[in-house]
Amino acid sequence: MARFEDLTALLQEFVKNGPAGCGCAVAKDGKILYENYFGYADLEEKRPMADDTIHRLFSLSKVIVCTAGMMLYERGKFLLDDPIYEYIPEYKETYVYECEGNGNFHVRKAKNPMLVKHAFTMSVGLPYHFGGTKTSDDMARVKEELKQKYGKYDIVTEAKAMASIPVQFDPGTHWLYGYGHDIVAAIIQIVSGKTVGQFLQEEIFEPLGMTNTGYRFREGMEKRLATFYKKEEDGKMTKAPDFWDEYHQPDALYEAGGAGLYSTVSDYLKFSQMMANGGCYKGERIIGRKTIDLMRANHLDPQQLKDFNFPYVAGYGYGLGVRTLMDPAAGHCNGSVGEFGWTGFPGTYVVIDPSEGFSLVYMHQMMPNMEQYHHHRVRAVAYGCLE
């Protein structure tokens, strides 16, 4: 079997070739088995990567936000088969862009409404605004119009505005990475009566002792933020643009569902252990065990599984905001059926395995993130260390 010395050697090898630095932690049944940090949070300052280094989560925010949404589901605040328009009336009439074959598009009424489940499963038909499609171009236009009108605005304001845009397919018929979890965030705010950040802080972060996680930087946090680097073709590391950092500032309003949180490896490990151990961590019950099982079940039909088909997620299906391992052999993975989690644009990654009470958190801040190379190797070694 592998030993944690092998994981150390692997991570040391990573930072020799980029990323500038990384952190990794592994836990089982509430006990930390491994936690280590390598390289630099900032190369120019020679600031080492450490347990209090803050990382931009980007899409690793999704797992937390969708968990918050499902906490409200199990309190009876909504059902998954409810139409979204019951909570956001602007979605009462949904329209679809349909290509005529000659490159032209016409707009028709959708054959069925968007459901809450469609938002969780990425099947609403709304991509992100940078996708280069007719729908994403419209989304970019709407975001710019909101910025011109309001300057700063919240996620509910944006989600309502996005309802006016024709989607790429009839809701629920395909899987498409994009805006669904931002609609989930808007629903959280509407049904809880709190901002997304307030709900997360009161219901997840405070009970779990996640003092270095949130949307807004608090005093001194910005100085602990890992620098986001771009790895050039010659291997040189140059500073990348500060994506989304404006939304971490104290006066920001925007709290997305698909991105926007920051955290540390050690903080996120607490969340992942709670999810791996039936919704409890150190005596704090956050969410029900059966609700987690519903989240990590595959919710995609055969057509949607064809859409959810790229090498990084081979062997996986998709649940309520998370990938879920269906076929370890197809995924070339020594993990367990039902293992779930997600990844984030800068190289953030979580594995949550309730059958083992096991979780793994890995983070770096680099583009391209080379996620398949880094994450799958870390996964293989960490699982190999389990007795």
Residues 283-300: pLDDT tens digits?
Answer: 999 999 999 999 999 999
Superfamily for the 4-64+194-384 domain: DD-peptidase/beta-lactamase superfamily (3.40.710.10)
pTM of the entire predicted model: 0.98
Amino acid occupying residue 198: Q
Cα dist. 170→94, 173, 229, 308 in Å? 9, 6, 39, 17
Q: Which residues pair with 348 in a beta bridge?
A: 344
Per-residue pLDDT at 105 exceeds 90: no
* DSSP three-state, residue 281: strand
Contact, 197 vs 214, CB < 8 A?
Answer: yes
User: What CA–CA distance (Å, rounded) separates 176 from 186?
Assistant: 19
Q: Compute the average pLDDT of residues 87-104.
A: 91
Model confidence at 104, pLDDT cuts 50, 70, 90, reads confident
**What digits encode the pLDDT tens for the residues 132-168?**
899 999 999 999 999 999 999 999 999 999 999 999 9
pLDDT of residue 60: 98
How many Å is the maximal CA-CA distance in the chain?
61
| Distance from C-alpha of 246 to C-alpha of 216, rounded to nearest angstrom | 9
User: Per the structure block, which two tokens stand in for 314?
Assistant: 């081979």
Q: Which of 93-107, 234-248, 255-269 has the highest mean pLDDT?
A: 255-269
Quote the pLDDT of residue 122: 98
- As a whole number, the mean pLDDT across the chain is 97
Whether residue 37 has pLDDT greater than 90: yes
Q: For residue 179, how many other CB atoms are within 10 A of its CB?
A: 28
Give how far Cα 233 sits from Cα of 18, 364, 367, 375, Å: 11, 18, 11, 21
Distance CA 208, CA 335 (A): 26
CA 159 – CA 256 distance, rounded (Å): 10
Q: How far apart are CA 379 and CA 74, in angstroms?
A: 31
Residue pair 234/25 in contact (Cβ under 8 Å)? The answer is no
Which DSSP helix (H) or strand (E) runs through 116?
helix 116-120
The residue-averaged pLDDT of 236-253 equals: 91
Amino acid (1-letter code) at residue 119: A
List, by residue range, all CATH 3.40.710.10 domains of the chain.
4-64+194-384
Give the pLDDT score at 332: 97
Cβ atoms of 190 and 158 closer than 8 Å:
no
Find out whether 24 and 360 touch, Cβ atoms under 8 Å.
yes
